[in-house]
């Protein structure tokens, strides 16, 4: 039983802090350049501790914490072989660290992510 306690404590802390960096792939299509690429980057994913209130008072603003970027940078990909004047640059965020915080809808899409994989479509 004593040997099990550290393992249980570690498992419990992992559940509490499951908001973490996650490797993802983004599929980007440029119709102007006639190409499609897949970019590997990092994002934030996981669960954040939350409690659903039994009674929601109209006097208190309600929100739930979600797994957000804490620190990030931007990287740029330039499509090759584009015609003159075409927008050949795609800039995307790269998460450096994550935390559970209120979703800021000014800079973040706070909706639910699709579980479908994206791919380039043939036209």
Q: Return d(Cα 46, Cα 43) in angstroms, integer.
A: 10
50-99 confidence digits (pLDDT tens): 776 777 778 877 677 889 889 999 999 999 888 988 889 999 999 999 99
Hey, how many other C-beta atoms are within 10 angstroms of the C-beta on 8?
A: 9
Contact 73, 88 (CB under 8 A): no
What's phi and psi for 35, nearest 5 deg?
A: -140, 165
- State residue 25's pLDDT score: 94
- State residue 115's pLDDT score: 53
Q: Return d(Cα 45, Cα 66) in angstroms, integer.
A: 9
Write the CA distances from 25 to 76, 119, 122, integer angstroms: 15, 10, 19
Q: How high does pLDDT run on average in the chain?
A: 78
9-26 confidence digits (pLDDT tens): 444 444 455 899 999 999
| Distance between start and end Cα atoms, the chain | 63
Q: What is the pTM of this model?
A: 0.65
């Amino acid at each position: 039983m004593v040997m099990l306690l550290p393992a249980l404590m570690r498992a419990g802390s992992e559940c509490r802090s499951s908001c973490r960096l996650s490797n993802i792939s983004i599929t980007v299509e440029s119709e102007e350049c006639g190409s499609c690429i897949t970019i590997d980057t990092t994002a934030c994913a996981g669960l954040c501790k939350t409690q659903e209130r039994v009674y929601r008072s109209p006097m208190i603003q309600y929100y739930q914490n979600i797994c957000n970027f804490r620190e990030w940078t931007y990287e740029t990909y330039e499509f090759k072989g584009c015609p003159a004047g075409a927008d050949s640059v795609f800039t995307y965020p790269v998460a450096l660290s994550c935390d559970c915080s209120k979703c800021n809808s000014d800079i973040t899409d706070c909706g639910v992510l699709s579980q479908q994989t994206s791919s380039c479509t043939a036209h």
